[in-house]
Amino acid sequence: MLRSVRTYFLSPKAHNTVRTETEVRRHHDLSQQDISPLFRLEELKGLNLYECSMEEIQQHLSEGHFTSVDYVEFCLRRIYNVNPYLECIIEINPDATKIAAELDDERRQGKARGILHGVPILVKDNMATKDKMQTTAGSWALLGSIVPRDAHVVSLLRRAGAIILGHANMSEWASVRSSNYSTGYSPRGGQVRNPYNLSSSPYGSSSGSAVAVSANIVPVSFGTETDTSIIGPASINGIVGIKPTLGLTSRAGVIPISKSMDTVGSFGRTVADAVHGLNAIVGSDERDAMTCSSSRSQRKDYSKYLTTKGSLKGARFGLPNKRCWEFVAKDIRETALTVLKAIQEAGADVVEVDFPCAEDRIPGDGNWDWTYGKPSESEFSVVKVEAFQGINAYLSELSETRMKTLEDVFEYNQKNSGTEGAKPGDHSAFPTGQNNFQQIIQSCGEATETYYQALHYTQQKCRTEGIDAALKDNKTNTVFDALILFDRKGAGQQLAAQAGYPIICIPIGVDSAGLPFSLSLQHTAWKEDVLIRWASAIEDLVHQISGWRCTPEYREHLSKNIPVVDKSS
């Protein structure tokens, strides 16, 4: 309980020392000397871009210190140097340099489109790009297929002037094909490696998107989440992840899993960078009805909600305890307590709360599990039906491929089990083969009574009896400004996924194994502005008391183990 643990708060380091962001980062400019030369970021025209922010990159571009062509070539050299070890990039855009040159011309004509203009970014390999790259969800089965159009979010990124540098590797089929698999592995892309320890799990399914940002390959990237696929990789790779409200960003052109949970979000090394990414992909789309159901999905500038630690004065946060805080590991808890006390000393109040649905929706061991509960209560009962419908609809629009249904993909995998791991025991990355695909196909996509019961149950529990209930302070008849979690294993994050609510995470430290962990903030639907305000304020506070994020050290960089091991606390 929070009241009983307050006496164990640690004193924040250098609590009264105020440093600018540049001063905070300066220490880490030097810390590259502590890592293998293989992974040190080279300079670009005499400029040190290690941990450089989007604002700084854009300033360099606008002042002519280097061009977008220079920057793209710089990022490509970074990929060639580190991707053989990290395997976070599945394909490079052969037209990236040409596109950069065109955007350089626009800049010279005074037509820069915004903060993403001429900046290379990455998209997950399940986001369709109508160009010379393949969109395969990491599967050989879709190689050679041609998508009908860009995913809507990709078209928005192009419109914003971003350069699609390539596709990021991922857990194949966004983790839906198998119940037991090596996170971050895809047959086409190989095993994504965690840059903090290459033998440890990068989490998934947006593994490559998160690793590429953490490893200073690109400043911003984009991923998708059905359940913890943005927040999990962001946390374990020491960066910021934003999973928005269901319907804020379009899923059209994204290889689907669940229409009730899928969303597209952003990664950055800072809250501001992730917000700049989010800004570019928000907007209604007639091809995704969820984005048209509310006027709140209209485009707006979320960067105006960025703030500093001073805004924490008077804020009130809830800290869910049951099956959340009570499961936080000892070494993480010590740092978490430090941050919580700093938040309180900044003038905010932190109050212990509970999710009323905790025992119904969070497994007793605190681990992520989308099969938790009986069939009429299980998230996977929803996923099975919606994945069948969604994947078949997506495949039906592809050309130049024999993969027209999920059954076709299943059969392809069976015939190529040596590379696809369709049969248990054939590939170390897939101990259970494609057993989830088998269950999805058996569902025939039929919206049975069990499906509707499970959909209603999970949404009711995670919304009304979950996040919404925990946000209410019944003693004062007020609403907390946000909920704070330090959830490493993802069980608490599942509530936001099943509710379709937003969540944002910021890195706050590393555990005894040297792996990062985060503080995450949750709120009800359409409260991205609120979460951005508090996340940026807490990030500023953390930077002031303990320095910049702990950057990757690339331990065990020769590791080739598959499956990867979760070494986190």
Classify 313 as helix, strand or coil.
Answer: coil
The confidence band for 516, taking pLDDT boundaries of 50, 70 and 90, is: very high
DSSP readout, 233-271?
HHHHTTSEEEEPPTTSB--TTBPPS-TTT-EEEEEESSH
Ranking 74-88, 93-107, 303-317, 536-550 by mean pLDDT, the lowest is: 536-550
Q: How many CB atoms lie within 10 A of CB 397?
A: 14
Give residue-wise pLDDT tens across range 417-428.
Answer: 999 999 999 999
From CA 370, how far away is CA 219, in angstroms rounded? Answer: 31
pTM of the model: 0.94
Give residue-wise pLDDT tens across range 225-266.
Answer: 999 999 999 999 999 999 999 999 999 999 999 999 999 999
Q: Which of 53, 68, 186, 205 is catalytic?
A: 205
Q: Which of 171, 178, 179, 229 is catalytic?
A: 229
Whether 229 is catalytic is: yes
Q: Where are the domains of the chain?
A: 12-546
Tell me what the mean pLDDT of segment 309-330 comes to.
Answer: 95
Alpha carbon of residue 333 to chain centroid: 23
Is the separation of the CB atoms in 205 and 171 below 8 Å?
A: yes
pLDDT (0 to 100) of residue 34: 78
Query: What average pLDDT does the chain have?
Result: 93
Classify 524 as helix, strand or coil.
Answer: coil
Share of the chain above pLDDT 90, in %: 85
Is the separation of the CB atoms in 183 and 202 below 8 Å?
A: yes
Tell me what the mean pLDDT of segment 387-397 comes to.
Answer: 98
Give residue-wise pLDDT tens across range 489-513.
Answer: 777 889 999 999 999 999 999 998 9
Backbone angles phi, psi at 322, to 5 degrees: -60, 120
The confidence band for 23, taking pLDDT boundaries of 50, 70 and 90, is: low
Residue 455: what residue type? L
State the sign of the Cα–Cα–Cα–Cα dihedral 270, 332, 351, 357: positive
- Topology annotation, domain 12-546: Amidase signature (AS) enzymes (3.90.1300)
Whether 124 is catalytic is: yes
Ranking 163-177, 400-414, 470-484 by mean pLDDT, the lowest is: 470-484
Whether 399 is catalytic is: no
Is the separation of the CB atoms in 247 and 297 below 8 Å?
A: yes
Q: Which residues contact 177 (CB under 8 A, 6 or more apart)?
A: 413, 430, 434, 436, 437
**Strand bridging mode 89-92 / 163-168:** antiparallel
Residue 4 has pLDDT above 70, yes or no: no
Give residue-wise pLDDT tens across range 126-154.
Answer: 999 999 999 999 999 999 999 999 999 99
